[in-house]
């Protein structure tokens, strides 16, 4: 019952948001601001996580492949495909749900509590549109770019973990990176990152938009934004994997 | 003119407004007064369209706004200004950007025209030269005045003020009252003020509605307050011993 209530309210909110903007220039400006917040503001943390993600993956596969008959250049191949198909989109978006999603919920929730949303409504602004749609568009554009950076940096991280340490030669790692490449995996990565972007943004905005009460409720909304986004990201990760790989 | 027609509002089982009918007149400061919990804020939010009444209608001149769709209400709201209790200024914007926000959103004015309009509004509230400051860099009284400037920048026909004097010292509170009254008379707009400040009642109360437990129990103007024998009004207005002594002295007791 409660789930249906929230689902209905969530869809109504998004439905109200998807209308013709009052002023395209203002929406464009807000979208650019959000792109800067989400993209530039997250690139360092995303790169930092990705470099370790790639490094740890390379080391652990090196450990698992040692003494096996599998060629060592497979390490580069596994790091690449793991980053592209799974770790870059999923881990990046789980991190962004914590960083960007909680921030969105807190920002919109704070505006609700300080009557900024009421003030905009009274001016005639469609707040469901002005406060949510620029964030959705910005996340839809910027998060796949962040995921691309994360996948690239993860491969660099893998290189740094196994090549300078002498476990693998530069040419072996590079050979692995270019072996058995399937462009379809890139498509999967972008489908995942765009879907996760929409999930984390819309869920976080919804949590913030309907905040009532004081700082305790705002904190709960922010936590709910992260927890629910993470659960939905993992669930949709599985569904996309089933749908796009055909297994 | 704004007319409330038998407004009822319930939250769950609690009936907050129990059939209020009242006319808020053009060119006058219309005050809604009452003790905390009397239903003033709910009434104001219904008048401004933030809440839908459970039953009853709100008319802005000849338009019944409580039956309009959200889209239609938004077009009416271009004619509405509101000063919030906490001013509701956008923290991330400067004073100028705050005031200019409705102009940016809804008009095709040039940058120069907008700047002139913003400066005129700031001049009107006696706050010239604060354009580049952020709300956090201004005092509570200044924030109220910036809030007034923002609420009048679109030259509204209807102005709503929620507790405009709360948290202000008496002198600044008087200044805010005078400002709201001057704007109302000069522009001949319908102003509705939600307050429990007695200075406001006696200073700018052209049309006062006293709410008590969700009902309209008294209606009149500031000069009728002193003469009224209404028990609830007397208890509300002269709640403090100091004011009681003043009243007794005035009527020669």
ipTM of the complex: 0.86
Query: Given an 8 Å threshold on Cβ–Cβ distance, is B90 in contact with A116?
Result: yes
Residue A186 pLDDT greater than 80, yes or no: yes
pLDDT value at residue B228: 82
In chain A, what are the domain boundaries? 25-241
Residue B134 phi/psi, 5° resolution? Answer: -95, 155
Query: Given an 8 Å threshold on Cβ–Cβ distance, is A22 in contact with B106?
Result: yes
Q: At what angle do helices B95-106 and B140-152 cross, to 10 degrees?
A: 20
pLDDT value at residue B58: 93
Q: Worst-scoring range by mean pLDDT, A1-15, A25-39, A205-219, A232-246?
A: A1-15
Residue B246 pLDDT greater than 80, yes or no: no
Is B93 an interface residue toward A (CB < 8 Å)? no
**Where residue B151 falls among pLDDT bands split at 50, 70, 90?**
very high
Nearest to A118 among B50, B81, B101 (CB): B50
Test the B interface: residue of A13, A122, A131 with most B CBs within 10 Å: A122
pLDDT tens-digit readout, A4-34: 999 999 999 999 999 888 889 999 999 999 9
pLDDT value at residue B226: 79
Pick the residue from chain B with its C-alpha nearest to A33.
B92
Using only the alpha carbons of chain A, give its radius of gyration. Answer: 21
**Where residue B250 falls among pLDDT bands split at 50, 70, 90?**
confident
Is A12 an interface residue toward B (CB < 8 Å)? no
Query: Given an 8 Å threshold on Cβ–Cβ distance, is B48 in contact with A122?
Result: yes
Q: Is A103:A201 a contact under the CB 8 Å cutoff?
A: no
Is A36 an interface residue toward B (CB < 8 Å)? no
Chain B: closest CA distance from residue A18 (Å): 13
CATH of the domain at B220: 3.40.50.300
pLDDT value at residue A1: 56
Q: Is B80:B158 a contact under the CB 8 Å cutoff?
A: yes
Pick the residue from chain B with its C-alpha nearest to A119.
B88
> Taking the CB of residue A114, how many other CB atoms lie within 10 A of it?
17
Q: At what angle do helices A43-65 and A127-162 cross, to 10 degrees?
A: 40
CA A41/CA B144 separation, integer angstroms = 34
Which residues does B34 contact at the CB level (< 8 Å), separation at least 6? B40, B196, B210, B211, B212, B236
Q: Is A109:A207 a contact under the CB 8 Å cutoff?
A: yes
pLDDT value at residue A96: 96
Test the B interface: residue of A25, A119, A121, A214 with most B CBs within 10 Å: A119
In this prediction, residues A231-240 reach a mean pLDDT of: 97
Residue B185 pLDDT greater than 70, yes or no: yes
Helices (H) and strands (E) in chain B, counts: 10, 10
Tell which wins on pLDDT, A153 or B250. A153
pLDDT value at residue A9: 93
**Where residue A208 falls among pLDDT bands split at 50, 70, 90?**
very high
Contacts of B80 in chain A (CB under 8 A): 122, 124
Residue A247 pLDDT greater than 80, yes or no: no
**Where residue B192 falls among pLDDT bands split at 50, 70, 90?**
very high
pLDDT value at residue B161: 94
**Where residue B35 falls among pLDDT bands split at 50, 70, 90?**
confident
Structural domain for B19, as ranges: 2-250
Query: Given an 8 Å threshold on Cβ–Cβ distance, is A26 in contact with B70?
Result: no
**CB within 8 Å of chain A, chain B residues 151-170:** 154, 160
Task: Quote the number of domains for chain B.
Answer: 1
Distances (CA, A) of B50 to A122, A158, A246, B43, B46: 8, 55, 49, 10, 6
Dihedral angle computed from the Cα positions of residues A8, A14, A19 and A25, in that order, rounded to the nearest 10 degrees? 160
pLDDT value at residue B253: 61
Chain B: closest CA distance from residue A113 (Å): 10
């Amino acid at each position: 019952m409660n789930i249906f209530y929230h689902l209905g309210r969530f869809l109504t909110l998004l439905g109200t948001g998807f209308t013709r903007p009052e002023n395209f220039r203002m929406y464009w400006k807000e979208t650019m601001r959000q792109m800067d917040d989400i993209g530039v503001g997250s690139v360092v943390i995303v790169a930092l996580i990705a470099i370790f993600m790639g490094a740890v993956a390379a080391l652990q596969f090196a450990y698992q492949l040692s003494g096996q008959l599998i060629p060592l250049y497979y390490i580069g191949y596994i790091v690449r495909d793991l980053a592209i198909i799974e770790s870059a989109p999923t881990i990046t978006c789980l991190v962004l749900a914590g960083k960007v999603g909680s921030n969105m919920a807190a920002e919109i929730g704070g505006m609700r509590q300080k009557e900024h949303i009421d003030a905009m409504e009274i001016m005639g602004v469609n707040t469901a549109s002005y406060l949510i749609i620029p964030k959705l568009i910005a996340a839809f554009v910027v998060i796949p770019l962040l995921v691309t950076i994360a996948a690239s940096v993860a491969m660099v991280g893998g290189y740094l973990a196994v090549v300078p340490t002498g476990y693998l030669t530069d040419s072996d790692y590079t050979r692995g990176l270019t072996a058995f490449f399937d462009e379809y995996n890139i498509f999967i990565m972008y489908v995942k990152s765009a879907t996760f972007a929409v999930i984390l943004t819309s869920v976080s905005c919804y949590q913030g938009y309907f905040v009532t009460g004081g700082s305790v409720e705002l904190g709960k909304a922010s936590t709910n934004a992260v927890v629910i986004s993470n659960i939905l990201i993992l669930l949709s990760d599985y569904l996309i994997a089933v749908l796009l790989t055909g297994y | 003119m704004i007319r409330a027609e038998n407004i009822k509002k319930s939250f769950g089982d609690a009936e907050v407004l129990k059939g209020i009918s009242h006319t808020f007149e053009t060119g006058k400061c219309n005050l809604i007064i009452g003790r905390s919990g009397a239903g003033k804020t709910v009434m104001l939010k219904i008048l401004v369209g933030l809440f839908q009444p459970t039953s009853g209608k709100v008319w802005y001149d000849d338009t019944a706004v409580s039956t309009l769709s959200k889209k239609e209400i938004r077009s009416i709201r271009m004619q509405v200004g509101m000063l919030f209790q906490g001013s509701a200024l956008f923290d991330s914007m400067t004073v100028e950007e705050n005031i200019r926000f409705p102009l940016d959103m809804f008009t095709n004015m040039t940058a120069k025209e907008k700047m002139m309009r913003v400066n005129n509004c700031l001049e009107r509230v006696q706050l010239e030269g604060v354009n580049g400051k952020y709300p956090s860099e201004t005092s509570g009284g200044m924030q109220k005045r910036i809030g007034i400037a923002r609420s009048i920048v679109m030259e509204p026909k209807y102005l709503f003020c929620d507790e405009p004097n709360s948290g202000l010292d008496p002198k600044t509170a008087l200044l805010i009252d005078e400002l709201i009254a001057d704007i109302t008379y000069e522009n001949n707009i319908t102003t509705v003020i939600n307050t429990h400040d007695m200075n406001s009642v006696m200073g700018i109360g052209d049309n006062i509605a006293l709410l008590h437990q969700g009902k309209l129990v008294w209606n009149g103007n500031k000069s009728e307050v002193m003469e009224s024998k209404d028990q609830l009004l007397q208890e509300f207005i002269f709640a403090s011993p100091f004011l009681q002594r003043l009243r007794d002295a005035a009527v020669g007791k």
